[in-house]
Structure 1
Amino acid sequence: MDSQPRTQTDVDPVPRSGRIRVAVVFGGRSEEHAISCATAASVLRTLDRTRYDGVGIMTWCPSAWVLVPDDPDALEIRDGRLPQVEDTGRAVIVPLGGVETVWRAVGPDGLEDLGEVDVVFPLLHGPFGEDGTIQGLLELADIRYVGCGVLASAAMMDKHIMKVVFASAGLPVGPYVVIPDVQWRRDRAAALDAAKALSFPVFVKPARAGSSVGVFKVDRPEDLEVAIDKARDHDPKVLVEQGIVGREIECGVLQGRGTDAPRVSECGEIEVVSGHEFYDFEAKYLDEDSVRITAPAQIDDEVRARVQEIARTAFEVAGCEGLARVDCFVTDRGEVLLNEINTMPGFTPFSMYPQAWAASGLSYPELVDELVALALERPLGLR
């Protein structure tokens, strides 16, 4: 097992073409399947085919991982239509490590070799992908991959555990109440009393979901129970967060090379300008005109430095690798509160994470290249 980080020059040999083989894994079983497809479309279109060879394109259908056509256009959100990847009948067999390193597919024509893969780019959002599950599979198979490892992915996906970790490190988090499934079923009244002790409005959200799926703004205590039941349709564990009046400021974090400190981007700001009470799923993906993303954000230097400091610290406290986006609230008094961290943020060129890095001088293609290079540099096994 490797004891020292590998560099891009001493990783396992790339194919004879000299190009790096990247398997893009996207789709997934969560409610964010369509968003993952849109993210994959952007990455696939951006990958420089003079540098990257034999790009395996796989997704998770209900029955299996499948090999799908290299067609980014079919994966984009167009005219309000969310993409959906269908089962192609070509099931992918992931090698389990050791002497077995060749990826294969089983289809109507039998078994076909897909060759070896140098790095996996997992572009899955939500449960069963972003939450440490696919990361664990790849770790077991000794396959390098882009992004955070098992623990950081799992802990940061669960907004309750995330807040516990950050609060224990002295990072500023807002007031909240967690309602586990067993508590809701055992004593609903007590759970409601705890949540109603927060100042309204509150936001009710699934503890382990993203893209604002199943998130509800509640202005009155009498509407809280219905909102919790609706959020439970997405996750039996629910968080109730006290609403914070302030600006939503976000910062991208990129792992440093070798032993270098994590790099932080310019800050960006998200503003809902029409049609939505908050930055919900429709505002994010289906009604672009209702939202304004500004990078760099128009904030004073002291606030910018504080957000960047919190972002870098959160990344290190969580044990993140590769990339993460850290979301903060900045109140009218200039107080900065940590909202959450996203270990696989939206990754189209129009998403906040790439825009924040573009404002920092790192273009979208350069960002993709850097993430692949970081994955190749990372050692296998415990680190």
Structure 2
Amino acid sequence: MTSDQQPVQANEPERPNAVDASPNGHRTRRPRVAIIFGGRSSEHAVSCATAAGVMRAIDRDKYDIVPIGVSRDGQWVLAADDPARFELTAGRTPEVLPDDAHVVLPLSTRETSLQVLEAGQPPQELGDVDVVLPLLHGPFGEDGTLQGFLELSDIRYVGSGVFASAAGMDKHYMKVVFAGHGLPLGPYTVITDRAWRADRAAALEACAALDYPVFVKPARAGSSIGITKVDDPSDLEAAIEAAREHDPKVIVEAGISGRELECAVLEGHGTDAPRTSQVGEVAVHDNHEFYDYEAKYLAEADVDLTCPAAVPDHVSDEVRRLAAAAFDALGCEGLARVDCFYTDDGRILVNEINTMPGFTPHSMYPRMWAASGLTYTELIDELVSLALERRTGLR
């Protein structure tokens, strides 16, 4: 652990008051939400920051919460209900540390209770959980792995299911699904681990048809981690190697000349269609070549996030239409953020979807909904409500 890190220590929170008095005098239990964050991916610190924002904003009069941190080696621990400890700043990188005691979620459909296990101690019951809010970004959390675990026990959770989470995490198969549904995409190529190891020269040659600059990305990572903008083919090999440090499968995308527009999508209730927010725009200052990790999380002054974006109505309408179409194409649930390009020649292209987008108060997803009339606290309430409505078992 480096000196600038602020570790998240596991500790036992006070047991929440589990019942409220309703107007008719009956006692009813508040829904209990397990907030899971941290995780094994390179987006560990971003996940902690997302959890900090949610813990500050969630309506404590309406919900009880149980913060559960996942350490970098995958241990689940009971975390302090202290949002300040999880905030990500230029001088502090939050981290969930392992602990002697670890949290166990229900392992069958007959149970709904959390337990804390510690060697030599009897299991400690933490009570039932009604909804899991999985705020894990990247692999081992956002990619369908956690969602599959929760499905095994019929535990309701916020966000997309196994397939949509897995396909949304993998930029390769995300584009395959989008293309199959007729959504407009920019040019790209994929370099698998086997292709790179078997014939590096052929893999490089496969990128020759792309116009430079190109963006080299790990296929299954987020928060702009491992991405390199390449202006000259001579730098391509090094950029692929840098991306492979995060994922052995790499995607190389042609640079698009235009503006980056984003739209937040929220699932509809019942049979209602997905809802879309006002369209937002990201503009990065000249000291960043693109919307990289530092610009997203550590240098807020270097980025202009505008919502609603200053674009013609027909452009905004088309971005919102494509965002809802992308959400439906993957079979998403709960929430997603869809990123598009508005090209210099007037086309609108879908770039990617994020099934668990950045969710701090300063992130584009909640900001776009705030501009559309839904506050951060109301947005969290809406997501938990949608999760409580979802079916369990075969879906």
- Shorter-chain TM-score above 0.5: yes
- Select which of 142, 167, 174 maps to 1:162: 174
**Residue matched to 2:10:** none
**Residue matched to 1:126:** 138
Q: 1:80 to 1:297 in 2, by over 3 A?
A: farther
Q: Is the 8 A contact 1:26 1:40 kept in 2?
A: yes
**Residue matched to 2:113:** 102
Deviations 1:136-167, CA, capped at 9 Å, x for gaps: 00000110000000000001100000001001
Coordinate RMSD, CA, aligned: 1.2
| 1:331 aligns to 2:336 (yes or no) | no
- Select which of 36, 59, 68 maps to 1:58: 68
- Select which of 190, 205, 208 maps to 1:196: 208
- Give the C-alpha shift of residue 110 in structure 1: 3.9
Report the TM-score, using the length of structure 2 for normalisation: 0.92
Deviations 1:339-364, CA, capped at 9 Å, x for gaps: 00000000011100001000100000
Counterpart CA distance in 2 for 1:110 and 1:174 is 57
**Residue matched to 1:343:** 355
Q: Is the 8 A contact 2:181 2:329 kept in 1?
A: yes
Counterpart CA distance in 2 for 1:293 and 1:87 is 36
Deviations 1:61-104, CA, capped at 9 Å, x for gaps: 21521111111100001343221111233200111123222110
- Select which of 274, 292, 296 maps to 1:280: 292
- 1:311-330 to structure 2, matched below 5 A, reads 311-330=323-342
Secondary structure of the structure 2 residue equivalent to 1:195: coil
Report the TM-score, using the length of structure 1 for normalisation: 0.94
Secondary structure of the structure 1 residue equivalent to 2:279: strand
**Residue matched to 1:11:** none
The residue type paired with residue 86 of structure 1 is L
The residue type paired with residue 242 of structure 2 is K
Q: Is the 8 A contact 1:39 1:123 kept in 2?
A: yes
Deviations 1:277-309, CA, capped at 9 Å, x for gaps: 100111111111111100111111010001000
| 1:225 aligns to 2:234 (yes or no) | no
**Residue matched to 1:9:** none
- Give the C-alpha shift of residue 369 in structure 1: 0.1
The residue type paired with residue 37 of structure 2 is F
Counterpart CA distance in 1 for 2:229 and 2:111 is 50
Counterpart CA distance in 2 for 1:310 and 1:321 is 16
Counterpart CA distance in 2 for 1:247 and 1:52 is 40
- Give the C-alpha shift of residue 191 in structure 1: 0.5
- Select which of 46, 67, 73 maps to 2:78: 67
Counterpart CA distance in 1 for 2:74 and 2:248 is 24
Counterpart CA distance in 2 for 1:175 and 1:333 is 16
Counterpart CA distance in 1 for 2:109 and 2:215 is 47
Counterpart CA distance in 2 for 1:86 and 1:78 is 18
Q: Is the 8 A contact 1:102 1:116 kept in 2?
A: yes
- Give the C-alpha shift of residue 376 in structure 1: 0.1
Secondary structure of the structure 2 residue equivalent to 1:368: helix
The residue type paired with residue 66 of structure 2 is G
- 1:192-271 to structure 2, matched below 5 A, reads 192-271=204-283
Q: Is the 8 A contact 1:36 1:125 kept in 2?
A: yes
Counterpart CA distance in 2 for 1:82 and 1:64 is 19
Structure 1: give runs of 5+ residues left out of the alignment. Answer: 1-13
- Give the C-alpha shift of residue 261 in structure 1: 0.2
**Residue matched to 2:165:** 153
**Residue matched to 2:310:** 298
Point out the more displaced range, 241-250 or 15-24: 15-24
The residue type paired with residue 123 of structure 2 is L
Total equivalences in the alignment:
369
Percent identity between the two aligned chains: 62
The residue type paired with residue 228 of structure 2 is F
Q: Is the 8 A contact 1:178 1:237 kept in 2?
A: yes
